[in-house]
Structure 1
Amino acid sequence: MMGEAFRQILVQAAQSGTQEGLEALERALSAAEPSDVAAQHLATLGFRFESEDRVGLAAQAYALAARVARSRAPRYRLAAIRARILDLCGRDDFDPVEPLLDDLQQAKTAAEDPGRADPSFVDLGWACEMHGEVERAVRFYLLARIARDHHGGAALTHDGDTFEVKIKNLRRLQFDALLAEGRFDEAIELHKRTGRVHGSAPLAAYEIVGVKALAEAGEASYVEILPGRRIEAPALKFWEPPPPLLSEPGDLDMPPLYLAFLQEAHAFPRSNVVVKGDRVVYDVAAHPRRKDILIQDGVNLDQIMMAAFGRTRALIEIPENAERIEAGLVMFGLQSRNYGHWFSEFVPRMLCYNDPRCPDGIPLCIDDHMPGTHEEILSLLDTRNRPVIKLPPRPVSFGTLGMAPVPAFFPFDMKPRQTFYDTIWPADIFGMIRERILERARERGVLSERNDRRLFISRKAFTQRVLENEQEVADRLRPLGFEVIYPETLSFLEQVALFHSAALVVGSSNSSLNNALFARPGCQILGLIHEDLSFNFRGYTSYVEAGGAQITFLRGKSSARKDNVHAFHANYRVDPKRVTDAVAQLTMRSPALAGCIRT
């Protein structure tokens, strides 16, 4: 039974609801006999404190209940540990929580409790993310990682990331904020706390330079293969009255096409980052428009390193345990496995590596996750019979590293609230590539004399920018003589041959239309696309029309998309009748089909 004196102290503690009241209770317990009734009153007091969000006091009350209880001590002890963890987290005192996780497991075993009332570090981390409390979110996810590894806790965050990926991404947000204020040393120290968690080496600060500036400083050899020049703006064509585009037209002044060599440089496959001494060599990052650009190296999921970019300096992971290659030519980088990026950003470099001023025998270095079509393209373009080295995802130390540029200023993405930059591609560069590929195709006898085929390019194998009523459109086009083509089932040369024999092509405006570059002059392309007016219409037009084909865009209706899907990749639907009406009009424009309208 509970003594009268203890009862009075308990009532006073409940009425005061203070730390002092609990301390008085604790002193009284030293002389009290074990009592389940007293324990229940103390647990009730703990529950009240917990409901008032005073979990520190609740933890103490539950602990006192465990001390005095006869039969339910394990359950009260478990409640005390749970409340103690929440109290520490609420006060941002995270370090003492880790050892409590072992105590929590032992208490659950003793109480035969399944753990459904355990604090959820995943939930707590997610709540902090939603409120912009980045550092607290990191600390909760670190605890969630421990719970996963040692106590069978949840394996993923609410948005499906592993805790390692999430912590890395949250740290990147912090780095961006710190670097914007020039606080590089703080960012480096912050990384030291968690870099090991996601397998990152220490960070160091590097000055950002372009290749030409590096050469001018005497740190690289540099020769221009093609000088800078001005090109013409593409003439855009729409099946509707020309809409008011929301993108920024790309620059018409093309940079020089150069060949450069660096000695003793480090590089990271699957990214564009090259480190030479205390500098990071990166043309886009050194561009005058840097303040408007999102640099994605060190961010994307397939990146093997961590990086963050300020205006003139960058934090780059120190390349530890690098593989050694004596000499190589850069054909690897960010988004190299994506066919559209591969052909526009990487393939033009072969014009530099084929130049007589590029020494024989230096291997082409590519990312090892590229599809086979990429290697097929290299073999067709390479006039020097160079060996190819496939680079696994780990840092590389080069004795000699050859570099060539993207043929136009092409930011991967723009910062939030910045107008999208619609790169215009130089027809002279892609015209040379086209001629080389077609020459090799003729040598192999894959080109036919036909020039009248009608092709509908399927997008079924893809999950983004999908034409949702593709089957309906295909059913309307087949009676008009269209063949449905699945590019992913064909070799590169087979695709080249198909486009070269076409008079009229219909398809989604994505990488499946890239090979329209190899169509004959006058071939009509109907590029289907969603309704987003910031789409890169100029980029597609300048690229496709470099070979003489003509592209007209038909915009459909965008479908709802998830928050993590870029507007450019929204799925969409088109009116099949508008497609067939456009086809009838384009047939009249095609030299091979004029006068041969099918209805």
Structure 2
Amino acid sequence: MSESFRQTLIQAAQSGTQDGLDVLERSLRAVEPSDVLAQHLATLGFRFESEARVGLAAKAYALAARMGRARAPGYRLAAIRARILDLCQNDDFDSVEPLLDELQQAKDATQDRGQADPAFTDLGWACEMHGEAERAVRFYLLARIVRDKFGGAALTHDGDTFEVKIKNLRRLQFDTLLPEGRFDEAIELHKRTGCVHGSAPLAKYQIVSAKALSEAGLASYVEVLPARRIAAPALKFWEPPPPLRSEAGDLDMPPFYLAFLEEAHAFPRSNVVVTGDRVVYDVAAHPRRKDVLIQDGVNLDQIMMAAFGQTHALIELPENAERIEAGLVMFGLQSRNYGHWFSEFVPRMICYNDPRCPDGIPLCIDDHMPGTHEEILALLDTRNRPVIKLPAKPVSFGKLGMAPVPAFFPFDMKPGQPFYDTIWPSDVFKTIRDRILQQARDRGLLSERRDRRLFISRKAFTQRVLENEQEVADRLRPLGFEVIYPETLSFLEQVALFHSAALVVGSSNSSLNNTLFSQVGCQILGLIHEDLSFNFRGYTSYVESGGAQITFLRGKSSERRSNVHAFHANYRVDPKQVVDAVAQLATRSPAISGRIVT
């Protein structure tokens, strides 16, 4: 190595600039290739790389590859890797994809196993953690290419496929853009990646309620029950009444209506209904919309994307929709969940049984519902309607009948807003109760017994689990309690069982739904974790519609994973408190007061 070239190399290293490397490159034109010289250049590249100046490192490694002999393929590989990282740092992601083939060829030439390759999955995850959604999307797109072409990692750090992750990140971006009215930008973002996760184009729709649609002359609308004010539930706790952190639901009930739309698109497992340039969605059209977090169009089992702004929404309308000439909506978001099914969907049968609802129109349900759901429909249906099970495919209806959730029920509120504790109207649920009990009575299923004591097991479930259930059961059995497993019983068997009970103890979850059918005066002890935002008013107003009375006993919440909602936390209760509460509640039960088992 000549002294003049040595000085040029030193100056390039000291300057640490692109200009210094350009001077060095020009001086190489007069120098013969040499492994020693190449090693000096590679060392310079390594230094730049350790200083996170990967653009300069890529240049130095490329010069080493040009001047080297035995180690030239290895330097070439290092140059490509550094070049890729430099492009990523400068958000020039489009230029990275062509280099991936070069990277693979360089690895093949050196028999390199790729441990030092740019880790796009790691880089995407790091961007997610820093709230850089767009950069995360671009890294995951590159990781997807590496997976498909070269057998790279298949999942993100939290177990999602790259397709699901990209879709979810886009939704996060939409949630930022839409409140600012930037619908066109959101649509353009979707155009870039919609094909990755198999989504059709998005379009903008005005959000309207069913009533507003009818006022515009675009739907028929009749009120089955008028708007009315209901009484607030009287909450009862075993402890002194705690200071709840939830917002009490409105006592002014909306009209309970029956509406028909012509030519509408709907989506099983979703509440989204589109007709013309409007999306009919009562919760999204509610005056409280600004406080409500609408997650419809996000869940993994949903077949379309949706994102809601204040007055408009972006909806994906997939092609090749199944055609149904007429149907009644009994499908939607969380329809499979028994608690949601009974409070949000079952009441609609009151409207569909109304004489103003034409005969012969089928009830349309999600095909992943459990059998108990269909059993309930058959018991409530007074018109002998056919039932259509809808798979997870979009549907085009010639005529679509809709009825609402009987109260304003937002799934969740935006961060910073207290949980909205919906209060349910007793007139609706008493009607449901009376119809079901009459059906059970007609079948000879209701016994004369009224003094059973029931403890509901939660062992078959993984959320909101009473962790010391066995301990509680062991304390209750000597007091005459039977341990029951509702999931092993038909719906009518559960109705008959609860109707024969004087005392019921169980976790406050969907297993308490059928206490609606308990006799008047039945005492229910609802066990629950300590979260003061829980929907105590919702449970009370629902359960007590049938005349039973519920008292809550709060335990101690267990630690939960970050992806588990606070409402679904597991917990433990003090068995002695349960026993003491049962003794007190027994004195209030008409069926067993005066003959308490101790």
In structure 2, the residue matched to 1:455 is 454
**How do residues 163-562 of structure 1 correspond to structure 2 at under 5 angstroms?**
163-562=162-561
Whole-Å Cα distance in 2 between the matches of residues 517 and 35 of structure 1?
Answer: 87
Q: How does 1:111-190 map to 2 (within 5 A)?
A: 111-190=110-189
Question: How far off its partner does 1:32 sit?
Answer: 2.5
CA shift for structure 1 position 341: 0.4
TM-score (normalised: structure 2): 0.98
What is the identity, as a one-letter code, of the residue corresponding to 1:489? T
2-structure distance, mates of 1:89, 1:549 = 63
**Is the Cα–Cα contact under 8 Å of residues 426 and 543 in structure 1 kept in the other structure?**
yes
3-12 or 377-386: bigger deviation? 3-12
SS at 1:538 equivalent: helix
Once the two structures are superposed, residues 119-157 of structure 1 have per-residue CA deviations (whole angstroms, 9 ceiling, x without a partner) of 111111111111111111111111111111112111221
What letter is aligned with 1:584?
A: A
Instruction: Check the 8 A contact 1:407/1:425 in 2, yes or no.
Output: yes
The answer to whether the 8 A contact 2:199-2:318 is kept is no
Amino acid at match of 1:363: P
- Aligned residue for 1:95, secondary structure, equals helix
CA drift of 1:54 comes to 0.5
The alpha carbon displacement at 1:578 in A equals: 0.7
- The one-character-per-residue Cα deviations of 1:329-363 (angstroms, maximum 9, x if unpaired) are 00001111010000000000001111111111100
Contact 2:523 2:549 in 1 (8 A): yes
**1: CA distance, partners of 2:501 / 2:34:** 91
Question: What whole-Å deviation, never above 9, does each CA across 1:103-123 have from its counterpart, x for those lacking one?
Answer: 111211211111111111111
* C-alpha contact 1:337 1:371 (8 A) present in aligned 2: yes
1:391-443 per-position Cα deviation (integer Å, ceiling 9, x unaligned): 11111100000000100010111000001111000111000101111111122
Would the aligned equivalents of 2:475 and 2:579 in 1 still touch at CA under 8 Å? Answer: yes
Question: How far is the alpha carbon of 1:459 from its aligned partner?
Answer: 1.0
1:29 and 1:485 mapped to 2: Cα distance? Answer: 85
Question: 1:504 touches 1:587 (CA, 8 Å); kept in 2?
Answer: yes
Bigger drift between 3-12 and 344-353 goes to 3-12
Structure 2 residue runs of 5 or longer lacking an equivalent are: none
How much has 1:518 moved relative to structure 2?
0.6
SS of match in other structure, 1:30: helix
Query: For 2:77 and 2:597, how far apart are their aligned partners in 1?
Result: 79
| CA–CA separation in structure 2 for the residues paired with 1:459 and 1:148 | 41
Distance 1:165 1:132 in 2: 17
Aligned structure 1 segments of 4 or more residues deviating by more than 6 angstroms: none
User: Which residue is 1:577 aligned to?
Assistant: 576
| Residue type of the alignment partner of 2:293 | L
Partner Cα distance (2:344, 2:101) in 1? 52
**1:102-117 correspondence to structure 2 within 5 Å:** 102-117=101-116
- Which residue pairs with 1:72 in the alignment? 71
**Contact 2:269-2:392 within 8 A present in 1 as well:** yes
Q: Secondary structure at 1:528's aligned position in 2?
A: strand
Paired residue secondary structure (2:94): coil
* CA–CA distance in structure 2, aligned partners of residues 374 and 171 of structure 1: 34
Amino acid corresponding to residue 17 of structure 1 in structure 2:
G
What CA distance in whole angstroms lies between the structure 1 residues aligned with 2:154 and 2:417?
36
Q: Deviations over 1:442-491 (max 9, x none)?
A: 22222222111111111111111111111111111111111111111111
SS in 2 for 1:551: strand
CA distance in 1, matches of 2:366, 2:429: 23
CA distance in structure 2 between the partners assigned to 1:38 and 1:294 by the alignment: 62
Per-residue deviation at 1:12? 2.0
Report the equivalent of 1:55.
Answer: 54
Aligned counterpart, 1:35: 34
Q: Is the 8 A contact 1:88 1:94 kept in 2?
A: yes
Which deviates more from structure 2 when the two are superposed, residues 441-450 or residues 460-469? 441-450
- CA–CA distance in structure 1, aligned partners of residues 307 and 108 of structure 2: 45
> 2:236 and 2:371 mapped to 1: Cα distance?
34
- Tell me which amino acid in the other structure corresponds to 1:168: K
Question: Does the aligned pair in 2 maintain the 1:366–1:389 contact within 8 Å?
Answer: yes
Name the amino acid aligned to 2:431: M
Q: Which residue of 1 aligns with 2:98?
A: 99
Amino acid at match of 2:54: V
- 2 CA distance for matches of 1:182 and 1:52? 42
Q: CA RMSD in A?
A: 1.1
Alpha-carbon shift at residue 9 of structure 1 (Å): 2.2
> Structure 1: where are the runs of 5+ without partners?
none
Alignment deviations for residues 230-277 of structure 1 (CA, whole Å, 9 cap, x no partner): 111110000000001111111111111111110001111111110010
Structure 2 counterpart SS, 1:589: coil
How many Å separate the matches in 2 of 1:476 and 1:102?
A: 68
Give TM-score scaled by structure 1 length.
0.98
Letter matched to residue 536 of structure 1? N
Deviations 1:176-212 (A, max 9, x none): 1111111111111111111111111111111111001
- For residues 488 and 152 of structure 1, the distance between their equivalents in structure 2, rounded to whole angstroms, comes to 43
Give SS of 2:263's match: strand
Q: CA deviation at 1:23?
A: 1.6
Write the distance in 2 (CA, Å) between the matches of 1:275 and 1:395: 11
Q: 2:133–2:173: 8 Å Cα contact kept in structure 1? A: yes
- Aligned pairs, number: 598
Contact 1:266 1:319 (8 Å CA) reproduced: no
SS in 2 for 1:275: strand
Tell me the distance in 1 between the aligned counterparts of 2:487 and 2:256: 31
Q: CA deviation at 1:364?
A: 0.4
